[in-house]
Every structure is written in structure tokens, then in C-alpha cells.
């Protein structure tokens, strides 16, 4: 996981209740990386675009979804990977089961949302934990991607303006 600017570390740390500003290396911990990626994508932390803006049960827009993290950089390659992943899920029957009935008038508060979101982040962390040590997980912000690259930002360090 890579965050580019100090304000990004502050935002993610505040949202997760972890001090990432004085200890930015914590972002490399799989559990924290997964939470930043999952919750940040769902809530639109990075570019203001949210996962729900592009991915629905009716029609996923993988190319557009790239804007959640980093504009359309490498969108074609990412679309191909997403479609392969989708086909693998469908082959296993994921998403084919009948949807449960909708419950009327149920309010889901902010506190209620973070439990399931954290569960998803923990599941992603389990997958990330299988990666070899030092495997980079990149997260670039759309308006800062080219500036971060020019500043020499890397997954092993950070560069703040």
C-alpha cells in the first residue's frame, strides 16, 4: 500500500484510529493496507469516487472503477484482470444464488457499517499475507499520481510535498 502525501496518511489514520503520520511504515502492514484499500474505495477517500459509482450487481464498469484510485492509468490491463477474476467467481457459483429479500425501513448507521467493512478488509489482509515479504501494494491518488512518481515515491518509503 502506498499513500502519497502526509494528508493522506492523516486521513487514513484518523478513519482507522491508527497513527500513520508519525509511523507511516504501518501502512505496509497487511491488515492496515487492506482496511485502507477496502474502506477507502467504498467511501471514496482517494478521488471522491466510490466503488458503488462503478460496480453494481447489474453492470460492473471496471474501466471507470479505476478512477476510484488513480484515474485511468493502466486501465486496460486492470479491466482484463477484473474480468478474469469475475469469470473465476462466476465459475464457482459466486453471485448466482438468489438475493435475500430486502428488509424495509432498516437504517444502517455509520457505526454499523464499519463492522462488515472491517471484515472485508480482514479477508483481503489474509490474501495479502500470502504475498512474499516486500511485495509492493500500490495506492496512488488520481490528482497526485504523476507528482508522486516525479518525486520518487515508492512503496518502501513516502514523499510528502
pLDDT digits (tens, 9 = 90+) for 24-75: 999 999 999 999 999 999 999 988 999 999 988 778 899 999 999 887 888 8
Q: What confidence score (pLDDT) does residue 121 get?
A: 61
Please state the pTM of the whole predicted model.
Answer: 0.57
Q: Which helix (DSSP H) or strand (DSSP E) does residue 82 occupy?
A: helix 75-91
CA-based nearest residue to 38, from 106, 6, 111, 30: 30
Rounded Cα gap, residues 91 and 86, in angstroms: 9
Q: What confidence score (pLDDT) does residue 113 get?
A: 41
Q: What confidence score (pLDDT) does residue 89 get?
A: 85
Q: What confidence score (pLDDT) does residue 2 get?
A: 77
**Confidence at 154, pLDDT banded by 50, 70, 90:** very low
**Confidence at 119, pLDDT banded by 50, 70, 90:** low
Structure-block grid coordinates of residue 83: 474480468
Rounded Cα gap, residues 151 and 51, in angstroms: 28
CA-based nearest residue to 126, from 66, 65, 38, 56: 38
Angle at 80 between CA 74 and CA 84, to 5 degrees: 145
Helix (H/G/I), strand (E/B), else coil: 61: coil
Amino acid at each position: 500500500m502506498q499513500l502519497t502525501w502526509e494528508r493522506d496518511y492523516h486521513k487514513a489514520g484518523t478513519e482507522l484510529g491508527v497513527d500513520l503520520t508519525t509511523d507511516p511504515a504501518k501502512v505496509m502492514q497487511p491488515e492496515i493496507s487492506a482496511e485502507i484499500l477496502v474502506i477507502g474505495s467504498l467511501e471514496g477517500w482517494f478521488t471522491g469516487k466510490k466503488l458503488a459509482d462503478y460496480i453494481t450487481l447489474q453492470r460492473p464498469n471496471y474501466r471507470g472503477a479505476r478512477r476510484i484510485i488513480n484515474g485511468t492509468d493502466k486501465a486496460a490491463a486492470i479491466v482484463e484482470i477484473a474480468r478474469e477474476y469475475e469469470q473465476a467467481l462466476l465459475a464457482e457459483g459466486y453471485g448466482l444464488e438468489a438475493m435475500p429479500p430486502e428488509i424495509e425501513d432498516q437504517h444502517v448507521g455509520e457505526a454499523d457499517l464499519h463492522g462488515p467493512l472491517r471484515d472485508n478488509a480482514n479477508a483481503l489482509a489474509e490474501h495479502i499475507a500470502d504475498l512474499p515479504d516486500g511485495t509492493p501494494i500500490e495506492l496512488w491518488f488520481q490528482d497526485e499520481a504523476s507528482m508522486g512518481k516525479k518525486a520518487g515515491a515508492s512503496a518502501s518509503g513516502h514523499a510528502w510535498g
